[in-house]
C-alpha cells in the first residue's frame, strides 16, 4: 500500500511530493519564486479602448468617489433651491400686501390719520385677507400692517414668530413710505427691502 500512494504523488506528514507540477511550472516544495499573477483587474462597466485586447473601466473606489462628489453637489443645489422657494413665497406675500397698503394710504389721505382695523381701512377681516402662503393680513393701531405667513408656506417663514410688520411713515411732502421688519432672516426678503 505504501508503494501505491508514492506512485500517485501523495504526501504524508507535510513532506512535499515531486509529482505533477503546479501552475507556472512549479512543483510543491520548489525554491523558485512564484510568478506574479497578471490578468485583467476586476472592472465594473468595462469597455474596450481598442488596444491589443486590453479592457478598461472604472474600479469600485472610482465609482464611490464619483457618487460622493455628485452627492455633495446635489446637497448644495438642494439648499440653494430651498432658499429660492422660500424667497418666492415671501415675494408672493409682498405682492399681497400692496392692496392693504393702498387702502391705509387712501384712508390717511382722506382723514389725515391712520386706520386701526381692517374694517376702517375698507378691507376684509384678517383671516379672509390671505393667499396660498399668507395666513392673514391685519391693520393694527397707527396703520401698521401685520402679515403672518402660513397655509402652505415653508416652516422657515411661517408662524407667529416670523410675522412681518409694515409701519407707515409720512415724510414732510406727505408721501407715505413703509418700514418693514420681519421675524425671519432678511436674506429671504426681496432685494428692495433688505
Nearest to 180 by CA among 112, 101, 118, 115: 101
Place of cell 501523495: 10
**8 A C-beta contact, residue 164 and residue 183:** yes
Comparing 192 with 143, which gets the higher pLDDT? Answer: 143
Q: Which of 141, 146, 185 is nearest to 164 (CA)?
A: 146
How would residue 169 be classed by pLDDT, with cut points 50, 70 and 90?
A: very high
- Name 147's bridge partners: 137, 164
Mean pLDDT for 17-44 is 54
Q: Return the minimum-mean-pLDDT range out of 35-44, 123-132, 165-174.
A: 35-44
Joined together, the cell numbers standing for residue 20 give 505533477
Residue 31 CB-density burial (10 A; 0-12 exposed, 13-18 middle, 19+ buried): exposed
β partners of residue 56: 47
Q: pLDDT tens for residues 86-118?
A: 999 999 989 999 999 999 999 999 999 999 999
Q: Which helix (H) or strand (E) holds 165?
A: strand 164-170
Q: Where are the domains of the chain?
A: 70-193
Instruction: State whether CATH 3.30.700.10 applies to domain 70-193.
Output: yes
Give the helix ranges, DSSP H, for 112-150.
118-121
Q: Is the pLDDT of residue 60 over 70?
A: yes
Q: What is the reported pTM?
A: 0.63
Instruction: Decide: 131 and 96 in contact? Cβ < 8 Å.
Output: yes
**78, pLDDT greater than 70:** yes
pLDDT at 159: 87
Segment 37-59 shows an average pLDDT of 59
Q: What is the pLDDT of residue 24?
A: 53
Amino acid at each position: 500500500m505504501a508503494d501505491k500512494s508514492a506512485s500517485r504523488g501523495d504526501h504524508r506528514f507535510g513532506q512535499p511530493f515531486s509529482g505533477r507540477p503546479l501552475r507556472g511550472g512549479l512543483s510543491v516544495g520548489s525554491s523558485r519564486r512564484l510568478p506574479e499573477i497578471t490578468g485583467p483587474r476586476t472592472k465594473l462597466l468595462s469597455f474596450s479602448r481598442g488596444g491589443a485586447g486590453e479592457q478598461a473601466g472604472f474600479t469600485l473606489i472610482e465609482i464611490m468617489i464619483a457618487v460622493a462628489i455628485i452627492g455633495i453637489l446635489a446637497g448644495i443645489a438642494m439648499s440653494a433651491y430651498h432658499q429660492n422657494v422660500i424667497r418666492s413665497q415671501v415675494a408672493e406675500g409682498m405682492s399681497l400686501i400692496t392692496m392693504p397698503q393702498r387702502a391705509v394710504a387712501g384712508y390717511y389721505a382722506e382723514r389725515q390719520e391712520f386706520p386701526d382695523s381692517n374694517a376702517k381701512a375698507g378691507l376684509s377681516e384678517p383671516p379672509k385677507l390671505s393667499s396660498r402662503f399668507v395666513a392673514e393680513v391685519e391693520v393694527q393701531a397707527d396703520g401698521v400692517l401685520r402679515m403672518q405667513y402660513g397655509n402652505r408656506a415653508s416652516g422657515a417663514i411661517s408662524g407667529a414668530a416670523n410675522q412681518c410688520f409694515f409701519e407707515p411713515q409720512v415724510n414732510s411732502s406727505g408721501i407715505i413710505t413703509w418700514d418693514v421688519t420681519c421675524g425671519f432672516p432678511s436674506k429671504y426678503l426681496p432685494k428692495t427691502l433688505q
